[in-house]
Amino acid sequence: AALLERALALGFDAVVTGHYAKVLEGENGELELHRAADDAKDQSYVLGVLTAEQLKHSLFPLGDTPSKEMVRAEAAERGISVAQKPDSHDICFIPDGDTRGWLEEKIDMEDGPILDTEGEEVGTHPGAQAFTIGQRRGLAIGKPADDGKRRFVLEIRPKDNAVVVGSREMLAVDRITGIRPSWAGAPIAEAATGEWFDCHVQVRAHAEPVPGRTRVTTGDVDGSEAVVWQIELDDSIQGVAPGQTAVVYQGTRVLGQVTIHKSINAERLAHV
């Protein structure tokens, strides 16, 4: 948004990026955001936050490119030095992959408790910020689970500097409540009626989209009424955390996105 705002202020018509996605004109003449031709390189998930007005000033020329190899070949032909540069993975500004070390240089990390789903302390950690939902390695829990199975990070509580762990089964999520929604183009008719609509949902940049249903409604969000999207998934997914983005698709079209406020697992709900 900041880049586009600056570009328009300087008199440019649009911002062009190398993201793999497409902007197409829909049947009603409104612009729509769609997946790229190359599914393996598709980056429409990270662009799901773009609004209808921003799409009018966004160009993605690689969206119709069948493969990255064609881009590399053209770059080599034009003598561009990065033609054979390896693809980036993980976090581009932490090239050595030491996320914990990078965080320790930037923020204060304090020891805190590792809790089970009953609230019992089963270990300690050197800083909750260094953990991710679904993580198994690096927990160093001294007390084994009653069933002897491995435990995974289910929840991170920044205010308490606590990490909650449990079984792999408790990671499975089939319902999501999303807040701070935005539509990538014109809203569909069901946005106004509150009816359920079929869709696919993606919760990570390279995750497999999952079929389900979504409806737009209102609900209590931290003591205030706000617009929320209720999402029900046909198949459960793992490693879903509050704060992540859920992007909703119909076919190749990106309908919009929400910030995940709650992710629900039936088994874990029974322990609350």
Within a domain: 141: yes
Within a domain: 79: no
Helix, strand, coil fractions of the chain, as percent rounded to 5: 20, 35, 45
Rg (CA), the chain: 21
Within a domain: 154: yes
Within a domain: 8: no
Within a domain: 117: yes
Distance between start and end Cα atoms, the chain: 40
What domain count does the chain have? 1
Secondary structure class of 168 (helix, strand, coil):
helix
Secondary structure class of 261 (helix, strand, coil):
strand
In terms of phi and psi (left: phi > 0; alpha: psi -120 to 50; beta: otherwise), the region of 135 is beta
Within a domain: 142: yes
CA of residue 127 relative to chain centroid, distance: 23
Within a domain: 52: no
The pLDDT tens digits for 12-39 are 999 999 999 999 998 888 999 999 998 8
The pLDDT tens digits for 104-128 are 788 788 888 888 888 888 888 888 8
> For residue 40, what pLDDT is reported?
86
Secondary structure class of 144 (helix, strand, coil):
coil
Within a domain: 232: no
Tokens of 108: 């204060």
Q: How many CB atoms lie within 10 A of CB 190?
A: 16
Residue 101: in which H helix or E strand, if any?
helix 99-106
> Residue 165's beta-bridge partner residues?
153
What range does the domain containing 144 cover? Answer: 99-170
Count of H helices and E strands in the chain?
6, 14
> For residue 142, what pLDDT is reported?
66
> For residue 145, what pLDDT is reported?
72
CA of residue 80 relative to chain centroid, distance: 32
Distance CA 75, CA 83 (A): 5
Rounded to 5 degrees, φ, ψ at 12 are: -80, 155
List, for the chain, all residue ranges whose pLDDT scores fall below the cut of 50.
272
Residue 100: in which H helix or E strand, if any?
helix 99-106
CATH number at residue 128: 2.30.30.280
